Chains A and B, each alone.
Chain A
Amino acid sequence: QSALTQPASVSGSPGQSITISCTGTSSDVGGSNYVSWYQQHPGKAPKLMIYDVSNRPSGVSNRFSGSKSGNTASLTISGLQAEDEADYYCNSYITNRGVIFGGGTKLTVL
């Protein structure tokens, strides 16, 4: 199955808000509320930031929020900070096929 579609890169200045999109199909993103977002700093393991479209795990800043409309999920980061600079990945689920990830988005904090 093809990867979910994410922009290759986004950027923003400290304090600003940015949104990363994740586009799939009705068989994955659009077909359930199973969308998660992961943050990955260089050389590090991914970290769960959002699950089930819009839920934040304990310990994740409330500057991170998630949403979904149709076949597109979105991750919004408000009050951008230098430490937010990282790669971000979305994923979703295809019944009986497993998990599919997005290609990843590199966030640059200017």
Chain B
Amino acid sequence: EVQLVESGGGLVQPGGSLRLSCAVSGFTVSSNYMSWVRQAPGKGLEWVSVLYSGGGTLYADSVKGRFTFSRDNSKNTVSLQMSSLGTEDTAVYYCARRYANSPVTMDVWGKGTAVTVSP
């Protein structure tokens, strides 16, 4: 069964760091494109980043230079290292698989992990 399970969310102070993980089953992360999408409380979806199968990455302007998307092929997981967090980063973070040939198509989603940035 194809499944994505996020973890690592929690409460962090402004300026702090947090590492989110996404455990994947049913397919291999090294052969697929993976994405992170977030949703602030009561707000819409916001794309965060993509990790290409070749290892390259692309980030939204709002997180560029602060977030790093990586993967661990041996554990079949992907991770999002977040630093210099601000209150605007408070959101539920979803891990998703992206179609290789369609940059906006995310066909499998995790249930999300909540990040709260607050003093």
Q: Which residues of B contact A104 (CB under 8 A)?
A: 44-45
Q: Tally chain A residues at the interface, Cβ within 8 Å.
A: 28
Q: Which residues of B contact A98 (CB under 8 A)?
A: 47, 49-50, 58-60, 103
- Judge whether B45 and A48 touch: CB under 8 Å: no
* B111 adjacent to chain A (CB < 8 Å): yes
Q: Which residues of B contact A96 (CB under 8 A)?
A: 58
Question: What are the interface flags for A4-37 relative to B under an 8 Å C-beta threshold, 1 for contact and 0 otherwise?
Answer: 0000000000000000000000000000001110
Q: Which residues of A contact B109 (CB under 8 A)?
A: 45-47
> Bound complex: CA of A35 vs CA of B102, how far in Å?
9
List the A residue with the shortest CB-CB distance to B98: A99
- Judge whether B102 and A52 touch: CB under 8 Å: yes
Known contacts A91-B104, A101-B47, A104-B45; A45 and B110 CB within 8 A of each other: yes
- Judge whether B44 and A36 touch: CB under 8 Å: no
List the B residue with the shortest CB-CB distance to A96: B58
- Judge whether A99 and B47 touch: CB under 8 Å: yes
- Judge whether A57 and B102 touch: CB under 8 Å: no
List the A residue with the shortest CB-CB distance to B64: A98
- Judge whether A34 and B104 touch: CB under 8 Å: yes
Interface of B is mostly: strand
> Bound complex: CA of A46 vs CA of B96, how far in Å?
10
Task: Point out the residue from B45, B102, B105 that lies within 8 Å of A101, measured CB to CB.
Answer: B45
List the B residue with the shortest CB-CB distance to A33: B102
Q: Which residues of B contact A91 (CB under 8 A)?
A: 45, 47, 104
- Judge whether B102 and A34 touch: CB under 8 Å: yes
| Residues of B bordering A, CB below 8 Å | 35, 37, 44-47, 49-50, 58-61, 94, 99, 102-107, 109-112
Could you pull out 13 A-B pairs where Cβ atoms are within 8 angstroms?
A: A36-B105, A36-B106, A45-B110, A46-B94, A46-B109, A51-B99, A52-B102, A57-B107, A93-B103, A98-B49, A99-B35, A101-B47, A104-B44
| 9 smallest beta-carbon distances between A and B, as pairs | A99-B47, A51-B105, A45-B109, A104-B44, A101-B45, A93-B103, A91-B104, A34-B104, A36-B104
